[in-house]
Amino acid sequence: MKLTSYPEPQTGAFAFDEGNMGRVERILKRYPPERKASAILPLLDIAQRQNGGWLSKECIEYVADFLEIAPIRAWEVATFYTMLNLKPVGKHFIQVCRTTPCWLRGSDELTQACRKRLGVGKGEVTEDGLFSYIEVECLGACVNAPMVQINDDYYEDLTPDRLVEIIDRLENGEAVPIGSQTERQGSAPEGGPETLREMPWLKKGAPEEGDLPDYGPQDTEPAEARQEPTAGPADKEKTDTPDRAGPDAGPQSGSDALDDKEDK
Ligand code: FES
């Protein structure tokens, strides 16, 4: 039952395709039926991907109708989150991070490089529909600033020249390595790690015997010798009584023995 009156959504031509409908159904299973509106973010994301990277009015209102909520509730979400685009984007959608660490490391120059190379302003799409770019706030890869996100991938440790080279290669349909463009290992300092250097498995995968540091003599006591004897019913009765120091009390733990010593 709908609790408020609202205009009928204009869902137009948009509808989840067969593949996405399967994804949507899997997502909806995470929520109780009466709380399915909580799935709005992943559903808007799916709609955006199916619609070429942006949400039209039809998409937003289709999702609202699908979740049986007022269209305004879907609009509230779609207009709040910056990762939901409300106008068309290029096939390669470049998001230039401009927050302080990236800005200090040259994000302004990256934005200028986009403008110069693509010949369009922020938020505009190139004539061939291949590229558009915007500026965004921190994308969480500050250690390798400056960086951009292109569709779902991060390109880090950028210079304007390297960004132009990446755009050229994407335009030609060539593969571009993602992540650090200076081959930095993770977020290690330039030139390689300066700590924890003696961990050869970092380079070749899982550690093997002999890779591990020598921690001195190992405990060679057989495993069975270290196991506590299993208490039988009679023993259990004794250990449950306060007087555990009797001759039949069985093995004592270290703290039990210490308690007994102090008693004497
Ligand atoms: S400031 Fe650019 S990723 Fe954080």
What local confidence, expressed as pLDDT, does residue 191 receive? 79
| Residue 238 structure tokens | 């004794």
Query: Domain segments of the chain: what residues?
Result: 18-78, 92-180
Ligand 1 neighbourhood includes 67 CB (under 6 angstroms): no
Ligand 1 neighbourhood includes 53 CB (under 6 angstroms): no
Torsion from C-alpha of 243, 245, 250, 251, nearest 10 degrees: 120
| Residue 50 structure tokens | 């199916």
Ligand 1 neighbourhood includes 158 CB (under 6 angstroms): no
For domain 18-78, the question of CATH label 1.10.10 is answered with yes
Cα of 106 to ligand 1 centre, how many Å? 11
Q: Given ligand 1 and candidates 105, 139, 154, which is best to mutate, with the most ligand atoms within 8 Å of its CB? A: 139
Cα of 99 to ligand 1 centre, how many Å? 6
Confidence band of 76 (pLDDT split at 50, 70, 90) = very high
Cα of 159 to ligand 1 centre, how many Å? 15
In tens, the pLDDT along 156-188 reads: 999 999 999 999 999 999 999 999 999 888 888
In tens, the pLDDT along 77-92 reads: 999 999 999 999 999 9
Which pTM was predicted? 0.70
For the cut 90, the answer to whether the pLDDT of residue 214 exceeds it is no
- CA torsion sign, 209 to 215 to 217 to 222? negative
What's domain 92-180's architecture?
Answer: 3-Layer(aba) Sandwich (3.40)
Tell which atom from ligand 1 comes closest to the C-alpha of 99.
1
Ligand 1 neighbourhood includes 101 CB (under 6 angstroms): yes
Cα of 137 to ligand 1 centre, how many Å? 7
What percent of the chain clears pLDDT 70, i.e. is strictly above it? 70
What local confidence, expressed as pLDDT, does residue 186 receive? 86
